[in-house]
Amino acid sequence: MIETIPIPGIEDFDKVYWENCSKNKLTIQHCGDCNEPRFPPRHMCPICQSISHDWKEDSGDAVLWSFVIPRPPLLPVFETQSPYAVGLVELVEYKNIRIIGQIQTNSNLDSIKIGDKLKIDFKKINNEISLPCWIKQ
C-alpha cells in the first residue's frame, strides 16, 4: 500500500523544472530552435524535432479548465487530505499548455467552477520537491 505521497523523479531532462519549482518559480521549456513552448518537458521538440531547449519563467496565472474532487476510497496518504480539489489549469501566457495541480480556496470547495481565475503557489513536499498548485482568486 502506498503510505506516502508519490513524488516525481527529478534526475532527468526535467530536472531544471523541479529545481525552479523548489525556488517557487514556474518555468516552461521552449525549443531552442523554433521557440515553441512545451509541457510536460521533453527531450525533443514535437514541432521541429530539435533537441535544443531553453527555460522561460511564467507568471503562473491560470484559468481553471477542468477539475475533480476525489471521493473515498482513497489511498491512505490522500485520505488524510480529503476533501481537496485537483484541477487542470490553462496558463494565461500559454493557451496551449495545461498543468495538473491541487486547487486551493479560502471558501467551500463547492465554490470552485470552471473558468475561475487562479494564481500559482507551491506546496513543499520535501527539501528537493515543491509541487505547483493554484489558489482561487
Q: Is residue 28 part of a domain?
A: yes
Give the whole-angstrom CA distance, residue 20 versus residue 69. 28
Position 115 in a domain = yes
1-5, 26-30, 51-55, range with the lowest pLDDT = 1-5
User: pTM value?
Assistant: 0.87
pLDDT in tens, 43-90: 999 999 999 999 999 999 999 999 999 887 777 878 888 889 999 999
State the residue range of the domain holding 130. Answer: 15-136
Among 27-31, 39-43, 79-83, 126-130, whose mean pLDDT is lowest?
A: 79-83
In a domain, 81, yes or no: yes
Q: Is residue 2 part of a domain?
A: no
- Phi, then psi, of 60 in degrees rounded to 5: 85, 0
**Structural domain tally of the chain?**
1
Are 31 and 53 in contact by the 8 Å Cβ rule? The answer is yes
Flag whether 114 is in a domain: yes
**CA 122, CA 134: separation in Å to the nearest integer?**
8
- Assess if residue 110 is contained within a domain: yes
